Structure 1
Amino acid sequence: MALAKKLDPTKVTQSLPISKPESRLYMSFISVAFISLLIGGLMGLLQTLVRSGKFTLPFGIDYYQVLTVHGVILGLVLTTFFIVGFHLAAMGKTVGISEQQLRVAWIGFWMMFFGTAMAATTILLGEASVLYTFYAPLRAHPVFYIGLALVIVGSWIVGFVNWHQLAVWKKAHPGKKSPLLAFMVTINTLMWFIASLGVAVAVLVQFIPWSLGYAETINVLLSRTLFWYFGHPLVYFWLLPAYMAWYVMIPKIIGGKIFSDSLARMSFVLFLFFSIPVGFHHQLTEPGIDPTWKFIQVTLTMMVVIPSLMTAFSLFATFEITGRRKGAKGLFGWFKKLPWKDVRFLAPFIGMLAFIPGGIGGIINASHQMNSLIHNTIWVTGHFHLTVATTVMLTFFGISYWLIPHLRGRKLTPQINRLGIIQAIIWTVGMTIMSGAMHIAGLLGAPRRSSYSEYAGGDQVTEWIGYQMAQAIGGTILFIGIILMVYIFIKLTFFAPKGEEEFPIAEEEEDAEPTPAWFENWKMWIGITIVLILAAYTIPVIDIIQHSPLGSKPFDFPIGR
């Protein structure tokens, strides 16, 4: 198949132009993401206001409808559409895309779009108030599950396009290492595909027949296990695009180079290994799983600390080397040389800092004894908002400041840059207040997935009330940040001055060690991943099928606990 962009077989590192047809596809994904940000953010604001006890939802809207929309739209729709669009743009920029691949990617987009519309419609009609985890025996309308299936299959189609793009590039460049950014996209897409097989099986084999009435009961423990087989690597599917920006784009933005291509690739390979066979650490309180297997998966969970520390070392090495090249003196003089007035750097850097307490919270969540204290409390919600809603989203915003104008043929103006800095500060302040209050309230026993109305008048609610008000204040500040970010998106898309904005891809340090050829051995990486998954899941899943209760009948009322 001929490439739409002519590749020079003598070059390995290339920055290819993005055509208008490509731009339309990539912007379609990103536009859906920002529309989702506005809708999901409004739902989040309503939740915090309701929990404050000072606001009642109008028009008979149910709290769990709002909660489900917030989780599905932000946790699944926004992230998936933005990541898939970013993946496509990264692959198009580094390895090229053919017209046929472009057409297939459009099929994936429309499948994801209509699947989202189907699921959203059932939620808005009150037929799917099951939260984004859609735990059985809560049962939604069949259209909800069919819509989710379409979103997953559509994302697979785009993933196959990404893999084919790299395969075509490899054929044109025999014996050459793949571009780092393309390698990273391939790893993240591979992780998404393997992980989403679990939720696809649950939806297609369990939930859809059950919701259609073909099955009277459902194996709850099996469905939850299949979800969390998917649910934890989902977190890394969100996170790894941020890592791509940190490794590849941030060094270019600050005027530096990638510290080590090999180190970056190895960290992504390790995330692939240790992100999937760890779902049991979300099920530590469930009695149907042998404690030995919980221990094994908790151990594997802790292994992700290694690539995280590798990433921190690589990034701060880049910062220090770049700063010293610019004349920095002393132990921390390089810190002053970083471009603090450039929102393309500032927003992702704040996200990096937020990942420190976020990572500590993750260790607590995955530790058996400490998990017993915070399990099913709003501490866990606060943790999600530190990792996904702060680390990931601020990095996505930082990406948007250069990606959107690059795709639209416009410029990031000084005025928009200043607005972006204000937006990043607003987001940080709002999230610090809201997430901090969630963590403290969680330690006091405040439940997640609840409006607290069931506990009205109790002594505990009196103890929580100050932190509930703080959540409402933080949520209000965050919504202001959302409005500002959507305004910036519209400005960059339609009204910024015409021009060219750089797609920042850094080069590797000249004296870095050569990247070993075995990084391109995809059979080895996939094989090791499959072995780890089979070792962690085969016996416990067989036990669940053989020994868990035959099934549970559905609840006919939408409660989220």
Structure 2
Amino acid sequence: MIAVETKLGKENAKLTMAHMWVAFISLLIGGLMGLLQTLVRTGQVQLPFGIGYYQILTVHGVILALVLTTFFIIGFQFALMAKTVGMTNGERKWGWIAFWTMVIGTTATATMILLGKASVLYTFYAPLAAHPIFYFGLTFVVVGSWIACFVNFRQLYRWKKQNPGEKSPLLAFMVVINMLIWFISTLGVAATVLIQFIPWSLGLVDEINILVSRTLFWYFGHPLVYFWLLPAYMAWYGIIPKIIGGKIFSDSLARLAFILFLLFSIPVGFHHQLLEPGIDPFWKYIQVVLTFAVAIPSLLTAFSMFATFESAGRAKGAKTLFGWFKTLPWKDVRFLAPMIGMIAFVPAGAGGLVNASNQLNLVVHNTIWVTGHFHLTLATTVILTFFGISYWLIPVLRGRKLDAKTNRLGIIQTIVWTLGMFIMSGSMHIAGLLGAPRRSSYSDYGGTEQAAEWIGYQYAQAIGGSILFIGIILMLYTFIYMTFFAPKGTEEFPIAEEADNAAPTPIILENWRLWIGIAVVLIAFAYTIPFIDIIENSPPGSPTFKTLIGNF
């Protein structure tokens, strides 16, 4: 067996750090747009210089939900792969190509949005139309991410060739699972952009099949949630046990959870289209069942994490039923921020089950409840975990220490963020139950009888959004401090070990052909027949399945 380099290395650190810079600049821009939205919805603030509400709404969604997350995740995963399986010069070169391809695409897309030529929200639903450069920019971002996928695939493949018969490092296994989900799911958004939106925006075709475009988008849109979430799970499973002085409860359970995400996270897009006509209810039902199945790996994760916490506490001498709870390092921001993210995932997951339920979804569909749900899942569970990662990763990348000042700032920032999100997301959920619409400004409904009922919650959202923006400023200040001013030194890259008494990992969990094959079969089962049915039963004048295929 060939030993893996135990140091991240300066060149690999530069690659990850470049991704971090884009992510944190995106946090500032997207966060400012979010603050402006909450202020506009009170009806007391008007945007200057002719800036439109839906313009800033699009910037907020695209920059935070797509740009920040994608760059942070890919950068973090490059660091994990370099640390666990190594990175060759050639792999690093392609990593930089992926980065610059995504930067070019992001710049093009953001420019069109800021110029007011692509106020189409982050879902870019037709018949909303954007400038062709917006769609070409999206294409570059996706292609760049695909290059990163294949860099990660090759890294694990090379390691397996060099270490035949050895169990792959857990974090490397998780990275490859996440990038498989990303690659398979982005085939849908790539198809709709290349085949439908770009020709339409260039005037090469006069119309677009809206149901096909939405179906292809949500084939991608829900797995996107797990692309955000799984890096947080990587930190929970593979990093947090080391930080708390414990060990991974079960390597097998962790791998099984990630495999289940691969199987069940993609063939579920119809649960976002429950109220759309043109999709057979039978296939909606099938995908709702598969959506509920995704709860299983999350429940496995909850069990595994609390088993890890309890085991670590017992090892430190905790005797009573919940005595281990007191032994957790609550004053260490590397633990506190992700732990609050974990706790937030309980109501976030419950809200997700509401959204996926055919009957309950009727109550909250297209209300601001859904926006509140996103802010619990992505903006709390995921982003707080990403912040927790940053507090040790940035010092590692920059050759600096996580000193007492950084830790203190981090704890304050975590508390501020939690408070702001509790107020804003909570008021969104309540207003949604009262029927307040999502994706809308005060000018859309001001003066109506319903608006009088919602306005108090709009003010609460503005208060929460303002507190969150303070949290963003604190995070950016801490990021700059960690990057340039923290004391120089060597910070630990905290990768946990498996518990000594854990059961051996079954070899079948690394049978890639088996799991990818099952995933493809599930996707084909969930989408082939309904997709053909959607095209064949489209309105008069729309292309049939045969003519669509014939165009190629």
TM-score (norm 2): 0.97
2:549 is aligned to none
Distance 2:2 2:245 in 1: 26
1:163 is aligned to 153
Distance 1:24 1:551 in 2: 53
Distance 1:384 1:169 in 2: 37
Distance change in 2, residues 1:417/1:218 (3 Å): same
Report if the CA contact (8 A) 1:410-1:497 is conserved.
Answer: yes
2:241 is aligned to 251
Distance 2:328 2:8 in 1: 29
Partner-residue secondary structure (3-state), 1:383: helix
Partner-residue secondary structure (3-state), 2:49: coil
Partner-residue secondary structure (3-state), 1:548: coil
2:335 is aligned to 345
Distance 1:63 1:549 in 2: 33
Q: 1:153 aligns with which of 127, 143, 146?
A: 143
1:61 is aligned to 51
Do residues 274 (structure 1) and 274 (structure 2) align?
no
Distance 1:115 1:495 in 2: 32
Deviations 1:37-66 (A, max 9, x none): 000000000000000111111111000000
Distance 2:158 2:405 in 1: 41
Deviations 1:172-222 (A, max 9, x none): 100111000000000000000000000000000000000000010000000
Q: 1:420 aligns with which of 383, 407, 410?
A: 410
Which structure 2 segments of 5+ residues have no match? Answer: 543-552
Shift of 1:551: 6.9
| Percent of pairs with identical residues | 72
Q: Which amino acid aligns with 2:321?
A: L
1:281-430 mapped onto 2 (5 Å cutoff): 281-430=271-420
Q: Which amino acid aligns with 1:473?
A: I
Distance 2:151 2:540 in 1: 40
Report if the CA contact (8 A) 1:16-1:92 is conserved.
Answer: no
Q: 2:501 aligns with which of 498, 511, 515?
A: 511
Deviations 1:457-478 (A, max 9, x none): 1110000000000000000000
1:221 is aligned to 211
1:4-23 mapped onto 2 (5 Å cutoff): 9=1, 16-23=6-13
Q: 1:52 aligns with which of 31, 38, 42?
A: 42
Deviations 1:306-346 (A, max 9, x none): 10110000000000010011011210000000000000000
Partner-residue secondary structure (3-state), 1:502: coil
1:435 is aligned to 425
Report if the CA contact (8 A) 1:347-1:424 is conserved.
Answer: yes
Distance 1:551 1:39 in 2: 42
Shift of 1:22: 1.1
Q: 2:467 aligns with which of 477, 483, 495?
A: 477
Distance 1:456 1:549 in 2: 36
Do residues 209 (structure 1) and 209 (structure 2) align?
no
2:548 is aligned to none
Shift of 1:15: 6.1
Distance 2:8 2:503 in 1: 31
Report if the CA contact (8 A) 1:199-1:226 is conserved.
Answer: yes
Partner-residue secondary structure (3-state), 2:239: helix
Shift of 1:550: 5.0
Report if the CA contact (8 A) 1:218-1:551 is conserved.
Answer: no
Q: Which amino acid aligns with 1:67?
A: L
1:130-141 mapped onto 2 (5 Å cutoff): 130-141=120-131
Distance 2:136 2:541 in 1: 22
Distance 2:318 2:371 in 1: 41
2:545 is aligned to none
Partner-residue secondary structure (3-state), 1:287: coil
Please tell me the root mean square deviation across aligned C-alpha atoms, in Å.
Answer: 0.9
Q: Which amino acid aligns with 1:335?
A: F
Partner-residue secondary structure (3-state), 1:56: coil
2:514 is aligned to 524
**Matched pairs, number:** 542
Deviations 1:409-451 (A, max 9, x none): 0001111101100000000000000000000000111100000
1:4 is aligned to none
1:450 is aligned to 440
Distance 2:28 2:538 in 1: 42
Q: 1:76 aligns with which of 66, 71, 79?
A: 66
Shift of 1:244: 0.2
Shift of 1:10: 5.6
Distance 1:324 1:34 in 2: 38
Q: Which amino acid aligns with 1:245?
A: A
Partner-residue secondary structure (3-state), 1:140: coil
Report if the CA contact (8 A) 1:343-1:401 is conserved.
Answer: yes
Distance 2:73 2:395 in 1: 17
Q: 1:176 aligns with which of 166, 170, 180?
A: 166
Q: 1:533 aligns with which of 523, 539, 542?
A: 523
Partner-residue secondary structure (3-state), 1:385: helix
Distance 2:536 2:60 in 1: 36
Shift of 1:454: 1.8
Partner-residue secondary structure (3-state), 1:31: helix
TM-score (norm 1): 0.96
Shift of 1:452: 2.8
Report if the CA contact (8 A) 1:220-1:551 is conserved.
Answer: no
Q: 2:480 aligns with which of 472, 481, 490?
A: 490
Do residues 189 (structure 1) and 179 (structure 2) align?
yes
Shift of 1:18: 1.5
2:103 is aligned to 113
Deviations 1:89-108 (A, max 9, x none): 00000000000111111111
Partner-residue secondary structure (3-state), 2:340: helix
Partner-residue secondary structure (3-state), 1:60: coil
Distance change in 2, residues 1:312/1:89 (3 Å): same
Report if the CA contact (8 A) 2:24-2:476 is conserved.
Answer: yes
Do residues 468 (structure 1) and 469 (structure 2) align?
no
Deviations 1:263-282 (A, max 9, x none): 00000000010000000000
Relative contact order: is structure 1 or structure 2 higher (C-alpha 8 Å, sep ≥ 6)?
A: 1
2:16 is aligned to 26
Distance 1:72 1:347 in 2: 24
Which structure 1 segments of 5+ residues have no match? Answer: 1-8, 553-561
Partner-residue secondary structure (3-state), 2:491: coil
Report if the CA contact (8 A) 1:130-1:138 is conserved.
Answer: yes
1:98 is aligned to 88
Distance 1:443 1:205 in 2: 38
Report if the CA contact (8 A) 2:43-2:446 is conserved.
Answer: no
